[in-house]
Amino acid sequence: MPSTRATPRQVELGALLRRIRKRAGLSQPQVAALVNRSHSHISRRERGELGFEEQAELERTLTVTGATSEETIEALRLFRDGADPNWLIPGIARDLAVVTEYESVANSIFAFQPSVIPGPLQTEEYAHAVMVGGSSTEVGIQDRLKLRMARRKTYLAGSTRFEAIMGEQAIRYPACPRDIAIRQLRDLCEVAALPHISIQVMPFRLGYHPSREGGFVLMRSDATTVVHVEHYRSSSTLTNARDIKDYLDAADKIRRDAVGAVASARLIAEIADELERTG
């Protein structure tokens, strides 16, 4: 039976099939007719929610949509590895493409970052400062910056419920010059007023707490729940049910122990005022 859980490789395979189909100028119903499947079947495959039972069916789909030899090799690799529920990827390009696919179908997103502002809430100058500090090349920075700002726009203008919790360190000891930090904190206060966005601060605490283990993002949709964990030079996308349960529990504890949204907005404003006074 094909997989009904949207694993990371299935999501990337679905995105690849969609790009190939659109380049060929074909609609989903047209592809469905060519491969003797329903429109819903093709739609779910392109969202990564439904895998292929047999390699031959994938090969037929690639043939009728005019996939190149390179695309065919890549699609077959993703098909063979598609059942793996977790995925560790060096670099960022493919990884961000997969994360964007999950974001696009999510009903709610929870993000925790202990020492930096969560990516979708970063202003352009803050994001640039962080990327420069990470020793990225300017060419690479500009590409990543465009993508991050596009994601920010989608988050702010959309209706998907977004809970962002950041460690007190992220706002009290910002990862950027003081003037940029002040503008970033003021921006957070404005964004926090949006009805679909919640911003909280996790205070410094003694003793063990899940927040000490690092940042992660939970994305929940009707079809699946996934966890995305960013590392210094790689990232992991997890769909294993046991792993997800652990992260859901951690998110609940972080949410409970964080400062409330109203008090957090007040704290962020106070720290911005303090930075201005001591500048």
- pLDDT of residue 263 exceeding 50: yes
- CB neighbour burial string for 146-157, b if at least 16 within 10 angstroms, e if fewer: ebbeebbeebee
In this prediction, residue 79 has a pLDDT band, given cuts at 50, 70 and 90, of confident
Burial class of residue 111 (count of CB atoms within 10 Å of its CB; 0-12, 13-18, 19+): buried
- Average model confidence (pLDDT) across the chain: 88
Please state the rounded mean pLDDT for residues 112-116.
95
**Topology (CATH) of 86-277:** Endonuclease; Chain A (3.30.870)
- pLDDT of residue 1 exceeding 50: no
Task: Specify the pLDDT at position 253.
Answer: 96
- pLDDT of residue 165 exceeding 60: yes
Separation between Cα atoms, residue 100 and residue 279, nearest integer Å? 38
Separation between Cα atoms, residue 167 and residue 192, nearest integer Å? 16
* pTM, rounded to two decimals: 0.72
HSE at residue 203, side-chain half, CA atoms within 13 A, is 11
pLDDT tens digits along 58-72? 999 999 999 998 898
More confident residue, 86 or 243: 243
The pLDDT > 90 percentage for the chain reads 60
- pLDDT of residue 6 exceeding 80: no
Q: Domain residues of the chain, as ranges?
A: 8-81, 86-277
Architecture of domain 8-81: Orthogonal Bundle (1.10)
- pLDDT of residue 220 exceeding 60: yes
Please state the rounded mean pLDDT for residues 130-146.
78
